[in-house]
């Protein structure tokens, strides 16, 4: 059984210092940092508290919305209040709650990390533990800054604990922040081991993957290639033989997972849980013969609907299609069964007037679901709190990161070779996938492959934004966004509350 690092003390630790959107320190409980971070156990619990902030990015509605909505592969579903982020209209502005939430979450994590780094050398504990904790929180600090700089551009750079109210912050060029992140990631690589006794903590492999992604940002393609290849060639991770095995609920600890945010089947220590099972599930229960159940999606919140482009992106023998999508349902409600239907029959849908199919339609009212976040272990289909871990880095993505780095050096045949490793694993048993050739390798092909491999895993918007392809691809493939999306949408607006609470000039991003 894996040892989980998340526990109930995190609520206390992460609540000690909270940022308002002006990065203001707000004490909300009696314990003070001086008291808590004065012992080895306090430092340990504080490090755990830094990790806990990841749960607000991965598995939350805010995190999913900021990475999934308004992309080339997902548009809005029937319900939810953030359709503006899909349409890119004038109502997508700096006052939207999730824009503020992600900003606050990341700075809360950064301040928690800085607090540890400022205080750890004053505490009596083994030097080896100090070094490991420093490496872990620097890995996490870089991760929070990755989100901030991709989402918002130039942001406030902080490398020390926030003390008192600060209202005169300035924005730092994100290129400088990326160099700061690079130093954090390099320190983590140098000082972490390939394995950790507590599953879920950062390892050398996680740090190498993160470093490779950061080096792509600064266009150090040689360095990104080397970091990714070191993980692939020297690390303990390996691709699973079957793509479907990655997402088997009882196989969450597997060799392909490089870094995961943990959730646990314990309501007292699971916070809001991984809620991913809610957001991609359509309102299937509103149709005759169907009612909610855990095996067909559970509780439907209908936030994200796959685009036609995404549905048609897969080749016929690509196993990732069936692992990703739920596009058929079976009758399970005796009380509302259509005439002639029986419990367990595949649902027949009227896709257009007078035309019927076992394949569900893909409209706002009823759309395809995504199965990667299914959680059949919840006590009830009504329970929003899922227990499935959230895979942040997988080794298959490392292969694609290396391919992108090789492409940046015009090593197109080698880039194709790395892409083809991922594609070969995806083929149905007894078949082979068409191998990509060197002259087919460009950023669009890599983004297509990332969609097939990683779709629905809370990365897409940031992938499109960091590669400069957001406007082009969303305009082409997302009908909701086509009329409105502009180049400036490659950055989110700075939260209005941050600007309003600043006593000096804190400029808004262009276009907002």
Percent of the chain with pLDDT over 90: 88
C-alpha to C-alpha distances, 343 to 132, 335, 346, 417, nearest whole angstrom: 56, 10, 9, 47
The number of folded domains in the chain is: 1
In a domain, 95, yes or no: yes
In angstroms, the CA 188 to CA 203 distance is 8
In a domain, 158, yes or no: yes
> 19: pLDDT confidence band, cut at 50, 70 and 90?
very low
Q: Are strands 18-19 and 25-26 parallel, antiparallel or unpaired?
A: antiparallel
In a domain, 396, yes or no: no
In a domain, 459, yes or no: no
pLDDT tens-digit series, residues 309-351: 999 999 999 999 999 999 999 999 999 999 999 999 999 999 9
In a domain, 117, yes or no: yes
- Kindly write down the DSSP assignment for every residue of 190-221, as one continuous string: HH--S--SSTTS--HHHHHHHHHHHHHHTT-H
pTM as predicted: 0.94
Residue 129 maps to which CATH number?
Answer: 1.25.40.390
Could you tell me the residue range of the domain that residue 190 belongs to? 11-194+495-500
In a domain, 274, yes or no: no
In a domain, 381, yes or no: no
Kindly state the helix (H) or strand (E) to which residue 412 belongs, with its residue range: helix 412-426
In a domain, 115, yes or no: yes
pLDDT tens-digit series, residues 42-86: 999 999 999 999 999 999 999 999 999 999 999 999 999 999 999
CB atoms within 10 A of CB 350: 11
């Amino acid at each position: 059984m894996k040892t989980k690092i998340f526990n109930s003390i995190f609520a206390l630790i992460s609540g000690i210092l909270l940022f308002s959107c002006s990065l203001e320190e707000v004490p909300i409980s009696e314990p003070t940092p001086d008291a808590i971070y004065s012992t080895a156990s306090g430092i340990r619990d504080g490090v755990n508290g830094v990790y806990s902030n990841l749960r607000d990015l991965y598995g939350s509605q805010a995190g999913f919305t900021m990475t999934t909505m308004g992309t080339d592969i997902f548009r809005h579903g029937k319900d939810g209040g953030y359709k503006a982020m899909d349409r890119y209209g004038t109502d997508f502005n700096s006052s939207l709650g999730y824009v503020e939430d992600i900003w606050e979450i990341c700075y809360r994590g950064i301040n928690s990390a800085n607090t540890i780094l400022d205080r750890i050398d004053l505490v009596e504990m083994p030097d080896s533990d100090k070094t490991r904790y420093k490496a872990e929180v620097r890995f996490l600090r870089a991760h929070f800054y990755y989100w901030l700089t991709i989402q918002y551009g130039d942001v406030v750079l902080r490398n020390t604990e926030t003390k008192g109210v600060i209202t005169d912050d300035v924005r730092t060029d994100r290129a400088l922040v990326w160099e700061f992140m690079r130093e954090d990631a390099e320190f983590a690589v140098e000082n972490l081991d390939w394995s950790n006794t507590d599953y879920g903590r950062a390892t050398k492999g996680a740090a190498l993957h993160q470093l490779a992604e950061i080096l792509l940002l600064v266009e150090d393609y040689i360095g990104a290639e080397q970091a990714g290849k070191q993980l692939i060639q020297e690390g303990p991770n390996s691709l699973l033989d079957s793509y479907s095995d990655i997402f088997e609920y009882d196989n969450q600890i597997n060799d392909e997972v490089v870094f995961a945010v943990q959730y646990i089947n314990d309501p007292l220590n699971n916070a809001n849980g991984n809620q991913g099972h809610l957001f991609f599930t359509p309102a299937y229960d509103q149709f005759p013969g169907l009612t909610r159940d855990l095996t067909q999606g559970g509780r439907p919140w209908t936030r994200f609907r796959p685009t036609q482009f995404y549905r048609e992106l897969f080749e016929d023998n690509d196993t990732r299609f069936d692992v990703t999508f739920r596009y058929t349902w079976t009758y399970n409600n005796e009380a509302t069964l259509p005439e002639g239907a029986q419990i367990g029959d595949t649902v027949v849908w009227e896709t257009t007037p007078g035309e019927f199919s076992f394949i569900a339609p893909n409209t706002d009212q009823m759309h395809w679901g995504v199965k990667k976040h299914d959680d059949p272990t919840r006590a009830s289909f009504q329970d929003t709190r899922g227990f499935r871990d959230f895979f942040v880095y997988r080794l298959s993505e490392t292969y694609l990161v290396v391919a992108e780095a090789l492409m940046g050096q015009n090593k197109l045949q080698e880039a194709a070779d790395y892409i083809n490793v991922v594609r070969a694993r995806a083929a149905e048993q007894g078949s082979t996938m068409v191998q990509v050739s060197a002259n087919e390798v460009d950023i669009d092909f890599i983004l297509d492959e990332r969609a097939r491999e990683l779709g629905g895993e809370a990365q897409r918007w940031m992938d499109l934004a960091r590669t400069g392809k957001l406007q082009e691809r969303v305009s082409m493939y997302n009908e909701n966004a086509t009329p409105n999306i502009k180049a400036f949408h490659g950055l989110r607006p700075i939260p209005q509350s941050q600007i309003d609470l600043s006593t000096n000039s804190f400029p808004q991003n262009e276009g907002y």
